[in-house]
Structure 1
Amino acid sequence: MTKPTTVSYFFNQSLNADTSLTAKQRQIILAALDLFAENGFEKATTAEIAARAGVAEGTVYKRYKTKRELLNTILNRFASDVVPQAAQEFATDEWTKADATLHAFLTALVSNRIEFIADNYQIIKIIASEALNNAEMQQQVLGNIGSRLFGELSKHIDRLKAKGEIVDWPNDILMQFVVGTMASLAVRLFVQLPPTDLADQTQHMVAFLEKGLTPAK
């Protein structure tokens, strides 16, 4: 299965395509993103950002009045550009071609998202923590994800219902259980509980979902 593209790659693409940014602005933004992901927003300092970017601290303040303004610049780009790209890739990735059994579908889907979460959890943590307190950002992020992900998931759920392989519950409830189970890995990583091998994570999540979603005989 194709490895999901990292959000850092999408972010770099977005920055490089933005001709309104100077080279120093790109350096500052990338340095800030790295340090926010590594140390958290509160612990990262403008002095560290400047050093990582290879510019004077005054240059950071010249471009961005506060550290919060810099964070908002990063988050707005994620919400408006990076999340839509990542969601579009997910909605057209190889898991969508799993048209056989419930087991095959869940294995392809869960494997894809576990790998994505594991590769990007530090940045996802920043986005998630800010989105909790920002209604506008919640709408942007969830809207971009929902319009692509839920439509694709619904097609597979309807197909599996027609074959009698999945319980006949409302699609939104079924998606809630599937997405929530996968998101539990992100929660575990956020609180720094060491996960077991990702292959084991996939196997256990698929077994858990398959048992709960298979119709009773």
Structure 2
Amino acid sequence: MPQQEPVDQWIQELINMGDEKMTEKQLKIVQAAVEVFAEKGYASSSTSEIAQKAGVAEGTIFRHYKTKKDLLISIVSPMMSKLLAPFVLNDFKEVLEGEFPTLEGFLYAVAVNRLHFARKHLKIIKILLQEIPFQPVLQEEFKQHIARRVIGRFTEIIEHFKAKGEVIDMPTPVLLQFAISAMIGLFITHFIILPDQPWDEEQEIRHTVNLILHGMSAPQL
């Protein structure tokens, strides 16, 4: 029997979380919405397209969800708060709590760990990366359930390496913003902007870590 896709497992969990059991049609709508949102993005998707993929009338969607945005939030919000956060934090725990002798080693471990996670759960990750910048509800969910817990640990790690003299004396929030932006940029480029472009993952991770550590300036002679 083929292994079930991770996103399908999450949809099953989403069904189990609800107070009322999903109908067969509602389940098809949710599955189709995840596929369409991941492939085309929320703004470029239509409820008619989702309905066609689900094999239901478009009016059936609106009997369960008032708007397309309600459909998006109903899928992503509980996934983030009750499913994604544990997946992210439990899967990330080994890296966050690990002992790394150098900042380079820590950044490399973060990149490898998160790329592996993103590849396993690509559809829902694509939806989150595409929609969080434009959906205040999802931004708040992300801050509440994931960012605050991860940022706290990242801050401790950066402060540790600052004390060792491996990091320049700049405000830690600024350093975190720069490092996280570079990492997310790596993910977005590979999985969303240029998904079909061949790349050497090991080399790209090393390049990204090197840029975080040393910037773009050439060494002064």
Normalising to structure 2: TM-score of the pair?
0.75
Identity of aligned residues (%): 31
Greater shift after overlay, 54-63 or 174-183? 54-63
Give the Å deviation of 1:206.
1.9
1:192 aligns with 2:194: yes
Provide the aligned length of Structure 1 versus Structure 2.
209
Task: Quote the residue 1:168 is aligned against.
Answer: 169
Give the Å deviation of 1:167.
2.4
Normalising to structure 1: TM-score of the pair?
0.77
> Which stretches of structure 1, 4 residues or longer, exceed 6 Å deviation after superposition?
none
Taking the aligned partners of 1:134 and 1:44, their CA distance within structure 2 comes to 15
Letter in 2 for 1:112: N
Letter in 2 for 1:204: H
Structure 1 residues 127, 106: CA separation in 2 closer, same or farther (over 3 Å shift)?
Answer: closer
Taking the aligned partners of 1:203 and 1:80, their CA distance within structure 2 comes to 32
Give the Å deviation of 1:152.
1.2
Letter in 2 for 1:68: K
Task: Quote the residue 1:49 is aligned against.
Answer: 50
RMSD over equivalenced CA pairs, Å: 3.1
Structure 1 residues 53, 9: CA separation in 2 closer, same or farther (over 3 Å shift)?
Answer: same
Gaps in structure 2 of 5+ consecutive residues: 1-5, 216-221
Gaps in structure 1 of 5+ consecutive residues: 1-5, 213-217
Is the 1:178–1:209 contact (alpha carbons within 8 Å) kept by the matching residues of 2?
yes
Structure 1 residues 93, 31: CA separation in 2 closer, same or farther (over 3 Å shift)?
Answer: farther
Is the 1:106–1:206 contact (alpha carbons within 8 Å) kept by the matching residues of 2?
yes
Letter in 1 for 2:194: Q
Cα offsets for 1:1-40 (capped at 9, x unmatched): xxxxx66644542333334231422332122111211233
After superposition, residues 8-87 of structure 1 pair within 5 angstroms as 9-24=9-24, 25-87=26-88
